[in-house]
Amino acid sequence: MPSRRELKTVGVLGLGYVGLPLALEFARAGLAVQGFDTDPAKIEALTAGRNYLTHVAADDLPELVRAGRFAATGDFSHLRAADAIIVCVPTPLDEHREPDLRFVRATAETIAQHLQRGQLVVVESTSFPGTTEEVVLPLLEASGLHCPRADNPGAEPDFYLVFSPERIDPGNTRFPLKLIPKLVGGVNPASAERARELYARVFERVLVVSSAKVAEMAKLLENIYRAVNIALVNEMKLLCQRMGVDIWEVIEAAATKPFGFTPFYPGPGLGGHCIPVDPFYLTWKAREYDFPTRFIELAGEINTAMPYYVVDAVAAALNQRQKALRGAKVLVLGVAYKKDVDDMRESPALKILELLEQRGAVVAYNDPHVPALYPMRHYDFSRLRSVPLDGDILSQYDCVVIVTDHSAYNWRDIVERAALVVDTRNATRDVRRGRTNVVLC
């Protein structure tokens, strides 16, 4: 039987948008937290007490570092000292839109090299149901230690293994991390109980479900629900535009019903680390059971097509003004995937920039939260920096495309100074009345 650890020390692998906020919350709760990452720049910044995630409140980071409550390192041998190890690494799709688990596998192999008896390992990275038991567990058991599944109740675990999905919503101040109920699903009941004890130090409510697979599926359902409903309202937008009906007014009217309706809003396409990616993890896994996930695949088709629709709308708006898209100067406002954050992961703005360039436009962008673009998996616009909006800069562009409706933007000023505005977010609703230079897309 493993020695019972007191869960005083936590190791968090992956110090990005999920891992860093979680690590800081554990440190604030009084635990000793060791953050692990392979990026030396992140390690250097955090060691110096500098927070590189602008939407994450971390004014107390220097104090946590000085007090020894939080430290960052690239030396994974320190995993041996952790009572609990939490995995927060990316789970992207590959070029064929199939699960890419290389980061999860590499992390599990690294943990196995340092795994100690009695440690708790938690996977927070979103993946298909079965990942924790079918992928992570065998890699950890290569260490020689074992964590029996629930169907072998007589065996005592050498270590504990759990899946607990992250539910972070960057920039959402209504629901800080500790107020979001935490789901926990263990490979066995003992593992689930250990994780419940750990997360209860930070989260106000911890819900234990019957298995890791249930927790994995719950996370996918949350995001598939959003993806399908966003696809529905995007399709409704296209129909409403053809019929001459304002989809935004339609949604506002429908939302007055106090039951049976939840408002979703159209946009230029899906973005972020969850909704554009997670549904396809289930689509891929469902093939193993000869089960076609038609809703998911149809929603994916509609949402993936939205950036193409935006670029077509830009071309049509320019054409009405006797201008061609080829050679036109186009300014994209907002490259983050949602308002008031600096997160560009899977942002539809990147696809829109690419499509505009492919059709001959001269592109530029402004984003108050993203001063410069950097190379990403599918795009490289690293030559572009955010252009200032002062002076008469807006009037120098043939078209301004609103992709992300950051609060910092002055919509009245933008509408008054731009020759043509294509609005994908209904951001100009209060200022466009009587204006002929605004196209709602």
Q: What residue spans of 48-101 are helical by DSSP H?
A: 61-66
- Give the burial string for 130-162 (b: 16+ CB within 10 Å, else e): ebbbebbbebbbebebebbbbeeeeeebbbbbb
Phi then psi for residue 79, to 5 deg, are -60, -25
Interhelix angle 247-254/212-243, nearest 10 degrees: 130
How many whole angstroms separate alpha carbon 435 and alpha carbon 414? 12
Which residue of the set 88, 147, 240, 274 is catalytic? 274
128 contacts 219 by C-beta, under 8 angstroms: no
- Structure confidence at residue 58 (pLDDT): 86
Tens of pLDDT along 282-335? 999 999 999 999 999 999 999 999 999 999 999 999 999 999 999 999 999 999
At position 354, the amino acid (one-letter code) is E
How many whole angstroms separate alpha carbon 17 and alpha carbon 349? 19
How many whole angstroms separate alpha carbon 387 and alpha carbon 372? 9
Interhelix angle 348-358/294-320, nearest 10 degrees: 50
Q: Which CATH superfamily is domain 9-210 in?
A: NAD(P)-binding Rossmann-like Domain (3.40.50.720)
Between β-strands 329-333 and 399-402, what pairing exists: parallel, antiparallel or unpaired? parallel
Q: Which of 340, 326, 320, 335 is nearest to 376 (CA)?
A: 335
Tens of pLDDT along 29-75? 999 999 999 999 999 999 999 998 877 778 899 999 999 999 999 99
Tens of pLDDT along 126-178? 999 999 999 999 999 999 999 998 777 667 899 999 999 999 887 777 888 99
How many whole angstroms separate alpha carbon 273 and alpha carbon 181? 20
Contacts of 100 (CB under 8 A, 6+ apart): 91, 92, 93, 94
pLDDT tier, 3 (very low <50, low <70, confident <90, very high otherwise): low
How many whole angstroms separate alpha carbon 358 and alpha carbon 376? 18
At position 274, the amino acid (one-letter code) is C
Report whether pLDDT(2) > 60: no
How many whole angstroms separate alpha carbon 300 and alpha carbon 130? 23
What is the C-alpha R_g of the chain? 24
- Structure confidence at residue 170 (pLDDT): 77
How many whole angstroms separate alpha carbon 362 and alpha carbon 403? 17
- Structure confidence at residue 96 (pLDDT): 86
147 is catalytic: no
CATH class belonging to 226-440 = alpha beta
Residues of the chain with CATH 3.40.50.720: 9-210, 226-440
Q: Which helix (H) or strand (E) holds 185?
A: strand 182-186
- Structure confidence at residue 153 (pLDDT): 66
Pick 363 or 174 by higher pLDDT.
363
How many whole angstroms separate alpha carbon 439 and alpha carbon 431? 12
